[in-house]
Amino acid sequence: MSHGIDASAKATSIGSLELHALSLRRHILRMAERVGQGYVGQGLGIADLLAVLYSREMKYDPKNLAWLDRDRFLLSIGHYSIGLYAALAEAGVIPVDELDTYGADQSRLEMSGSEITPGFEMTGGSLGHGLGQAVGMALGVRLDKKASRIFNLLSDGELQEGSTWEAAMAAAHHRLDHLFAFIDCNNQQADGPPGQVLNVEPVQEKWKAFGWDTQRINGNDIHAIVDAIDAAKENSGKPHAIILDTLMGKGVRTFEERDKNHFIRVEPDEWRLAREQLEEYAQPRHRGSA
């Protein structure tokens, strides 16, 4: 193949995917430590999905981002950009060194990501934008008779935006079975858990009622993510919603246990502990995959 990466040829074993996710988590900690704050909890929580998408599932060419046959990843939730920057750096889309500019003045890596960053297909952050644009892209690539797929990452809190449901209806009506929505249910939004802010459950039943193929899995279990995507691909005629129950701060125990972890502020002396905890988390995985 002259261009384009079939990610499945690059990293297939669960062990190597876990190592990839660990690399993303290390990048995320480094970015957040530099600025002393950030959406580190979200990034750590979604690292497993990003590892599977960018090193196994998606077709893209880091040297030719405009490749027409590429799969497209749309980040609705702009504040999760810390995770996507890490994934894009690992994928060779942006230089790893550039991660040190996260959130800095004049950096391309904004705290809430936008399409000024290479590899960002759209601007999210004002929540509820991703799925609508995903619908348009899915209509577009189908009209062009491309095999491209569209992946959209949403959050549980984002389900409160009505535009998400406008798009959900349209995707099912137009039978966009090459469209995959991942809904990160980390049970935390700006003002608290969705159950207290505005209940979004039952999430899976809602998507099913809107005419989607649905699954709900542990979003921090790489095996489960791989299986869910493979199962969705076998199911034609409907768009696919894969609901991920994730733990914010996954891999760093003190972040996992923090009460209010939508936007984490960390004292300078806590970062060393965080890094140590991440390596502790990684240890049994290394052994398991060896």
Partner 1 sequence: MSISKSKSGVTGNILSSHVDGAERTATAPFGQALIREAEANPRIVGLTADLGKYTDIHLFASRFPERFFQLGMAEQNLIGAAAGLARTGFVPFATTYCVFATRRAYDFIAIGAALGSANVKIIAGLPGLTTGYGGTHQGIEDLALMRSIPNLVVIDPCDATELGQVVSAIARYEGPVYMRLLRGEVPVVLDPDTYQFEIGKAKLLCEGTDVAIISTGLMTARALKAVSQLNSSGVSAALLHVSTLKPFDIEVVLALVKRIPRVVTAENHFTTGGLASAVADAIVDAGMAVQLKRVGIPNCFCESGSIPYLVRRYRMDSEDIANAASELMRGTARRE
Per CB under 8 A, residues contacting partner 1 are: 68, 114-115, 121-123, 125-126, 128-129, 131-141, 143-144, 162-163, 166-167, 169-170, 173-174
* Residue whose CB is less far from partner 1, 23 or 123: 123
What are the Cα distances from residue 199, in Å, to 94, 157, 202, 209, 271?
38, 9, 9, 17, 34
CB of 116 to partner 1, least distance (A): 9
Q: Which is nearer to partner 1, 170 or 243 (CB)?
A: 170
Choice between 69 and 279, CB closer to partner 1:
69
- For residue 106, CA distances in Å to 52, 100, 102 come to 31, 12, 10
> Of the two residues 138 and 228, which places its CB atom closer to partner 1 in the complex?
138
Query: Minimum Å distance from CB 126 to partner 1?
Result: 5
Nearer to partner 1, 99 or 168 (CB): 168
Q: Which residues pair with 179 in a beta bridge?
A: 150
Nearer to partner 1, 141 or 228 (CB): 141
| Cα–Cα dist 148/74, whole Å | 13
H-helix or E-strand spanning residue 265: strand 264-265
Task: Tell me the closest approach of the beta carbon of residue 136 to partner 1, in angstroms.
Answer: 2
What is the rounded distance in angstroms from the CA atom of residue 241 to the CA atom of residue 255? 28
169/209 with CB nearer partner 1: 169
H/E element holding 20? helix 14-35
**Least distance in angstroms from the C-beta of 67 to partner 1:** 12
Q: Which are the contacts of 94, defined by CB distance < 8 A and separation ≥ 6?
A: 85, 88, 108, 109, 117, 118, 119
For the CB of residue 201, give the shortest distance to partner 1 in the complex, in Å.
Answer: 23
Residue 208 CA: distances (Å) to CA of 157, 202, 203, 241:
18, 10, 9, 8
CA gap 36, 34 in Å, rounded: 6
Work out how close the CB of 169 gets to partner 1 at its nearest, in angstroms, rounded to a whole number.
Answer: 7
Please answer whether residues 80 and 117 qualify as being in contact, where contact means their C-beta atoms are separated by less than 8 angstroms.
no
Q: How far is the CB of 132 from partner 1 (least distance, A)?
A: 2
| DSSP assignment letter at 285 | H
CA separation for the pair 8, 1 (Å, rounded): 14
- The answer to whether the beta carbons of residues 61 and 4 sit under 8 Å apart is yes
Beta bridge partners, 59, equal 6
Q: Which is nearer to partner 1, 144 or 201 (CB)?
A: 144
> Nearest distance from residue 110's CB to partner 1, in Å?
12
Pair 102, 95: CB distance under 8 Å: no
